[in-house]
Structure 1
Amino acid sequence: MTFPQVEAFRGGENLIRVVGHRGARGVLPENSMIGFDFSLSIGVPLLEFDVVLTADSIPVITHNHRLHAPTFRDANGRFLVGEEPKVSSLTVEQMQQFDIGRLDGHSAYGRRFPDQAQMDGIRVPTLMNLLELVDDPKYRDACLMLELKSDPDLAHDAVYRRNFVGRVLQDVRAKGLSSRAVLHSFDWTLLEECQRQAPDMPSSYLTQLPDNADDVGEDSSKAVCPDFRGRRDEIPKLVKEAGGALWCPYFADVTAENVALAKKLGLCVAVWTVNEHEDIDKMIDLGVDAIVSDYPGRVQRHLSDLGMRWSAIH
């Protein structure tokens, strides 16, 4: 089965797609409407972002299962201290009490993104907020790489999985955007549930080898991702056998061999998260289909300097 939204992520001769990671986390507040709108406005119509359910079962766009202290400020404008509350313990209305427009530059996480603009009045968006944005006719080419963040505490709960996938699909289908969304996760069991409920939508399989260090200040994928130790060059075959249309590996895990195998199997290969010039060059040389980056403009510039394209039409 051919999915138009997978083809939107597929590269070609002289063509590598650019995907805005959490909008454009390097320069604007992550997983924010202003970040998503920025990526779309610079001609990067492919967005990767994270979805978690609130206590009242509303899909919201935020990365961690707990409110992220370096990016969440309370009503008094102070970054969170102490134990971070779980998103699943708060209603969407309670989530809206927090401002995510600034980054705590004293934190290890904040030091990773020294160029991020600092803003006030930025709230956690709901999935529906983003769906409404891309439903605007001017963004009709936008496609979404929608990461369902599997809660390790509930990963083995079939009822939780069914409800989580069902609520996300309810919103996507309500806006008629099934043909522009890819269901994307590290949790392969959750992706099985996606395939059960949405055979009309493609699955994207995120992977990371366990020997790579976790990103500072972020929930680790390792609690829910299969352990591929010693099987690096088999991963594309396992993705294909699981029913995947798209393979999304950590960029340090890709080799000429596994990219070639993935392409031979018909998989689209989108690597995450590629920010440094040297790493962007390596991914271009490997011929990946798409580069997911916190700095989409930086990847555009690299491609432009090489005379390459990131969309089929320019």
Structure 2
Amino acid sequence: MNGFSQLEGLRGHPSVVRVIGHRGARGVMPENTLEGFAFTLAAGVRALEFDVVMTADGVPVVTHNHHLANAMTRDGQGHWLTGAERQVAEMTYAEIRALDVGGLDGRTVYGRRFPDQAFLTGIHVPRLGELLDLCAGYGDQAPYLLLELKSDPALMHDHAARAEMVAAVLADVRRYRMEPRTVMHSFDWALLGECRRQAPDLPTSYLSQLPENADDPGEDSAKPVGPDYDRMTESLPQAVASAGGQLWCPYFLDVTPELVAEAHDLGLIVLTWTVNEPEDIRRMATTGVDGIVTDYPGRTQRILIDMGLSWT
């Protein structure tokens, strides 16, 4: 279980809690953009978490939702998109690239969640290959990547389409020789099985969020593609280990020191998401987690320093 070199950059130590930039640094930079990722890496963060969705013409792109959120998308004339939000799977990459995702509409619920996010212009949704190329450019200092595959609920029973998605993503990872830094990461535990089948050299990371915890506003829910928690007869760490995973990535409200200790006893790395408030960052750091996925990597770095901890 622990024979993957990719894990060493994500494993914590008694004085080390890893900092993972969520969608880059969503709290201060446009999310899932090359500009946001470059900013995060410049701040000394050595791990990134991001989302991959497939376009109509089979291009893996880095964006969170299966639809382009109007709250963060402008047309070529700078006007916010309105009406029904467009599905990524129904658009070609050329159509998506023509849109601007460099800012948030502060009048929307989603925009008000991140009032400190920079507002940029002329920023496009990147191809996965563009992000991998950026990261590969760091050579021996390339960041570790939690590459989240976003399962389309409409395709849960289309095994061919799901296998094609995994194959397209892996082709990009191998093209840019980022295997030594990449972890396959998903709420869709069955899809991670397909990842292991196609890429046994890459570790798998199992995201979880218990049903009682509400989804964040303006974001696709992962609950339709996740496991049936009500049918589980073992703890979440045990379920991840039984499924063949190397990392367990629970929602921060589901984390307890006891579960973290159990996961470690099973040989799992524990990275918790998405931890933004100072009191929550401090609490997670005391539970023994290996790392914290956060929209505010700079804030998290400063809190860890205050606690006598490091992230490298």
TM bin (shorter chain): over 0.9
1:207 is matched with which residue? 208
Displacement over 6 Å in runs of 4+ = none
Is the aligned partner of 1:9 residue 2:10? Answer: yes
- 8 A Cα contact 1:300 1:310, kept in partner: yes
- 8 A Cα contact 1:108 1:216, kept in partner: yes
CA distance in structure 1 between the aligned counterparts of 2:54 and 2:226, rounded to whole angstroms: 19
Q: Aligned to 1:153, what secondary structure does the other structure show?
A: helix
Q: 1:282 to 1:233 in 2, by over 3 A?
A: farther
CA distance in structure 2 between the aligned counterparts of 1:121 and 1:207, rounded to whole angstroms: 35
CA distance in structure 1 between the aligned counterparts of 2:274 and 2:140, rounded to whole angstroms: 24
CA RMSD between the two structures: 1.3
Deviation at 1:233, TM superposition (A): 7.3
- 8 A Cα contact 2:136 2:142, kept in partner: no
Q: Whose helix proportion is higher, 1 or 2? A: 2
Amino acid at match of 1:265: L
Amino acid at match of 1:96: R
1:88 is matched with which residue? 89
Deviation at 1:5, TM superposition (A): 1.3
- 8 A Cα contact 1:101 1:118, kept in partner: yes
Amino acid at match of 2:192: L
TM-score, length-scaled by structure 2: 0.97
Deviation at 1:127, TM superposition (A): 0.4
Q: Aligned to 2:41, what secondary structure does the other structure show?
A: helix
1:230-249 alignment to 2 at 5 Å?
Answer: 234-249=235-250
- 8 A Cα contact 2:72 2:105, kept in partner: yes
- 8 A Cα contact 1:210 1:227, kept in partner: no
1:1-314 alignment to 2 at 5 Å?
Answer: 1=1, 2-137=3-138, 140-229=141-230, 234-311=235-312
- 8 A Cα contact 1:26 1:116, kept in partner: yes
Gaps of 5+ in 2: none
Amino acid at match of 1:206: L
Deviations 1:47-88 (A, max 9, x none): 000000111111000000011111111122121111111111
User: For this pair of structures, how many residues does the alignment match?
Assistant: 311
Deviations 1:130-152 (A, max 9, x none): 11011113563411100000000
Amino acid at match of 1:75: G
Deviations 1:147-179 (A, max 9, x none): 000000111110111100000000001111111
Gaps of 5+ in 1: none
Q: 1:291 to 1:122 in 2, by over 3 A?
A: same
